[in-house]
Amino acid sequence: MQLETYDKQEYIDEDRAEALTEVDNIDEFTKHEAMDRAWIYGDMWDQFILTNDFVITNESLYKQAHMIKSAIYAFYSAVANDCETKKNPS
């Protein structure tokens, strides 16, 4: 099963360019804030979506929910790795 994604590069680039106009400062706090928020969303996803009776009883939805959970925690790991890379440049 493949999830449809919002991955049209032109839209991603346009959204990022707009968001960059609102960025004030990048520091250690903002990096760790991104990790924290990713963890919170992953935890909420586990608690409220993966334990929902309707989702559990629908095999297709349950598989999609697990794929999303994996994507959230992969994002968390990517942010964590980026924070470590910035602390200890090779």
Residue 21 has what pLDDT?
87
Give 42-53 pLDDT, tens digit per residue: 999 999 999 999
Q: What are phi and psi of 61, to 5 degrees?
A: -65, -40
d(CA 58, CA 79): 32
| pTM (2 d.p.) | 0.73
- Domain edges within the chain: 27-87
For residue 1, give every residue at least 6 positions away whose Cβ sits within 8 Å of its Cβ, in sequence order, or none.
Answer: 60, 63, 64, 67
For residue 84, give every residue at least 6 positions away whose Cβ sits within 8 Å of its Cβ, in sequence order, or none.
Answer: none
Residue 37 has what pLDDT?
95
